[in-house]
Amino acid sequence: MPDNAPLQTTTAAAGLSRYGQIAAALQARIVSGDWAPGSAIPAEGALAREFGIALGTIRQAIAVLVQQGLLERVQGKGTFVRRGLSGASLMRFFRFGGADGAPVVPRSEILSCRAVRLDKAMAARFGLASGARGLAISRRRWLEQTPRLLESIWLPLPRCEALQQLPPAQWGDLLYPLLGSACGVTVHRAVDEVTFRTLAADEAALLMLPDAHPCAVVTRHAFDLAGHCIEYRLTRGDAFAFRYTADVR
């Protein structure tokens, strides 16, 4: 279970190797937006000259950020700042209806969105004190005429304040592109934990499933570029539609 501590520790220069220090400096450019998501970073030779280091050292620093998923190498094209997660990825846990396997973005219906006082555990996830303010969102996701997923989403305030000003009808179907455009937050990483239980009566009604039907629960912690938790989400869906593949080496 991830706690609130930032997950990338390259920001602390103390005790770091030379390439670790350079990696921290490059990460700062990504976090600040100086290097924008989707853009190419300067050539390795230019960076080596700028920092006054060997080409091998800049390559090691870049390898660290590739490994962290902040940068990606594109064969024959260069090294790019990775775009944030699209947010559609919870669908990878389920297979509803059509077997063609094409990625689908379910339609989003915002059931409620309100500012709340966060309890101690929720506040701690965001690095906030108990009683800090947050946004609590209830969302239902549809595929064609069937409700498929039920989501309870918590976001920290004031960081996601801009979302409150925007009518839910203008949110679109994906949360993460909205967090980017409205709040300047890039969601870079998510940790999903899957468990199973049965649906409560209110959940079953919203998902149009029988009371006490088995459901998969995906508990998500999402993180920004600096490694801070920026979203906590509980997603419920029909257990019998769950399908997930893991590769073990």
Is the separation of the CB atoms in 86 and 222 below 8 Å?
Answer: no
242 contributes a contact to a second copy by CB under 8 A: yes
Binders of a second copy among 85-124, rule CB under 8 A? Answer: 85, 89
Nearer to a second copy, 2 or 42 (CB): 2
**What one-character DSSP code corresponds to residue 134?**
E
Is the separation of the CB atoms in 238 and 209 below 8 Å?
Answer: yes
Q: Other C-beta atoms within 10 Å of 61: how many?
A: 28
Binders of a second copy among 59-78, rule CB under 8 A? Answer: 68-69
Binding mask 212-231 for a second copy (x = CB under 8 A): --x-x---------------
**What one-character DSSP code corresponds to residue 126?**
T
Residue type, 210: P
Binders of a second copy among 5-24, rule CB under 8 A? Answer: none
Alpha carbon distance, N-terminus to C-terminus of the chain: 22
239 contributes a contact to a second copy by CB under 8 A: yes
Please, how many CA atoms are within 13 Å of residue 107, restricted to the half-sphere of its CB?
8
Nearer to a second copy, 41 or 71 (CB): 71
189 contributes a contact to a second copy by CB under 8 A: yes
193 contributes a contact to a second copy by CB under 8 A: yes
- Applying CB under 8 A, the residues found at the interface with a second copy are 68-69, 82, 85, 89, 188-198, 214, 216, 239-240, 242-249
